[in-house]
Amino acid sequence: MDNSVREEILSKRLQLPKWSIVLLLVLVIIGIATFVARILSPDPGGAWQIYLVNFLFWTGVAQAGIIFSCVLRITNARWGRPLLRISEGFGSFVPVSFILLIILFLGRDHILPYATEHYHYPKEIWLNIPFVILRDLGGFFILIILSMFYVYNSLRQDLGGIGDKLSGIGAWVASGWNGDEERSAIWNKMKKLAPAVVLVYVAVFSLFAWDLMMSLDPEWFSTLFGPFYFVGSLVAAVGGTIIISSFVRKFTGLQDYITINQYHDMGKILLGLSMFWVYLFFSQYLPIWYANMPEETGFVYNRVRVEPFETFGWVVLSSCFIFPFITLLSRTHKIVIPILVFIATVSFTGFWLEKYYLVVPSFTPEITFGIVQILITLGFLSGFLLTFLLFIRAFPIIPFGDPFFDGKGNSHNSGGH
């Protein structure tokens, strides 16, 4: 990599005004205080339910950001190299999610029916609370270790050899660099790490889907529900990458590196993944519909035939699939960045609503979304943004040490990767 390119990227760090960090921190504190006050009240159920919704959504987006980076590396996608670091930055929230998962299990009596009720055989074997906690925490811990090792090597590939120009955590990542030989070793290591992270992600997030969403209904089950959850998280992460990269690009002056070509391709990926997500949805819905067995239809009936969730379901489907599908068919909508960001925002919001739609009807026949739910959700959003901004401020925004990064004005357009 040309030294001038490296120096330019290093000089274009995201400079955050102190008030923005303070604001996000205040919102996190308000969210925590609201949650704590509510769970100590006589009726803590609503707080735990919105906590579960937000845990599933933000943890999914955070981990899927790393997965998107892994997919770009596995496929040797040169076009997406400028976006690697932004998607990896989502993963800075993943260690926080581990703590949130521990807290979630502390409230299991309020959100996991099988913690207090007897489920029928053989579900009673699988949904044994100690077993659930052990496999979910254990699997997630392994995934976090692999993911952090992956991100560490990705960062070291960039920062190696320039430790004298860095301070703080960046200097620590760059310390003990052994030259180009180590860079080659890291490249080979990343080829093995990326598929491993993806495979463990598929297993762990399938467990989350089964244990924390599907099993909220004692009768219903679906073998496709795991893929439905982790694919939906990946779609949301792609949408989030489009949204956040547009702001990072603007405020750091990196338009020469993150170009319209990248957004065109990201729009196509968002379209394709949205179609795959709705395919998984229909693949579950169709056999449940034609089998018409009571134990299968109860979960679906409460969401597609009972108001207010029948109308709410159409809002979710429109946001996650119908609107992105119609709008992203046009090439113009994929290369005009404000339009693409708006489409991605609708999709991203839709997948948060989808988690609400999957979780809350198992507890209540009504949509309850008041000040408590808003403040707790803002706390999660602020925590996610805070960890991302601190990460992206500490490390280079563009992975200039990656062998497949082509520098300024990436020449690999939508037609040739």
Please state, as a whole number, how many other Cβ atoms lie within 10 Å of the Cβ of residue 58: 25
Question: 9 lies in a domain?
Answer: yes
**pLDDT of the residue at 413:** 47
Say what the pTM is. 0.94
Q: Under a CB-based contact definition with an 8 Å cutoff, are residues 197 and 67 in contact?
A: yes
In this prediction, residue 406 has a pLDDT band, given cuts at 50, 70 and 90, of confident
User: Minimum mean pLDDT among 167-171, 332-336, 353-357: which range?
Assistant: 167-171
Total count of domains within the chain: 1
Q: Under a CB-based contact definition with an 8 Å cutoff, are residues 127 and 211 in contact?
A: yes
Q: Which of 149, 144, 140, 56 is nearest to 362 (CA)?
A: 56
In this prediction, residue 183 has a pLDDT band, given cuts at 50, 70 and 90, of confident
Is the pLDDT reported for residue 415 higher than 80?
no
Question: 244 lies in a domain?
Answer: yes
Question: 411 lies in a domain?
Answer: no
How does DSSP classify residue 16?
Answer: -
Burial class (CB in 10 A: 0-12, 13-18, 19+), 77: middle
Q: How far apart are CA 37 and CA 46, in angstroms?
A: 12
Averaged pLDDT, 236-264: 93
Task: Tokens for 158, please give them.
Answer: 């960039």
Averaged pLDDT, 107-117: 92
In this prediction, residue 409 has a pLDDT band, given cuts at 50, 70 and 90, of low
Averaged pLDDT, 358-368: 92
Q: How far apart are CA 208 and CA 17, in angstroms?
A: 37
**pLDDT of the residue at 256:** 87
- The angle subtended at Cα 70 by Cα 344 and Cα 352, nearest 5°, is 30
pLDDT above 70 covers a percentage of the chain that reads 97
Q: Which of 187, 110, 200, 112 is nearest to 156 (CA)?
A: 187
User: Minimum mean pLDDT among 74-78, 180-184, 190-194, 263-267: which range?
Assistant: 180-184
Is the pLDDT reported for residue 270 higher than 90?
yes
Q: Under a CB-based contact definition with an 8 Å cutoff, are residues 321 and 278 in contact?
A: yes
Domain enclosing residue 245, as ranges: 3-394
Q: How far apart are CA 369 and CA 350, in angstroms?
A: 16
Is the pLDDT reported for residue 301 higher than 50?
yes
In this prediction, residue 417 has a pLDDT band, given cuts at 50, 70 and 90, of very low
Question: 409 lies in a domain?
Answer: no
Q: How far is CA 100 from CA 53, 132, 185, in A?
A: 12, 16, 35
**pLDDT of the residue at 416:** 41
Question: 399 lies in a domain?
Answer: no
Question: 403 lies in a domain?
Answer: no
Residue scoring higher pLDDT (80 or 411): 80
Q: Under a CB-based contact definition with an 8 Å cutoff, are residues 51 and 227 in contact?
A: no
- List pLDDT tens digits, range 212-234: 999 998 888 888 999 999 999 99
DSSP string for residues in 85-149: HHHHHHGGGHHHHHHHHHHHHHTHHHH-GGGTSPPPTTHHHHT-HHHHHHHHHHHHHHHHHHHHH
**pLDDT of the residue at 67:** 97
Please state, as a whole number, how many other Cβ atoms lie within 10 Å of the Cβ of residue 22: 10
Report the chain's mean pLDDT, rounded to a whole number: 91
Name residue, tokens 């990926």.
269
Q: Which of 348, 326, 230 is nearest to 275 (CA)?
A: 326
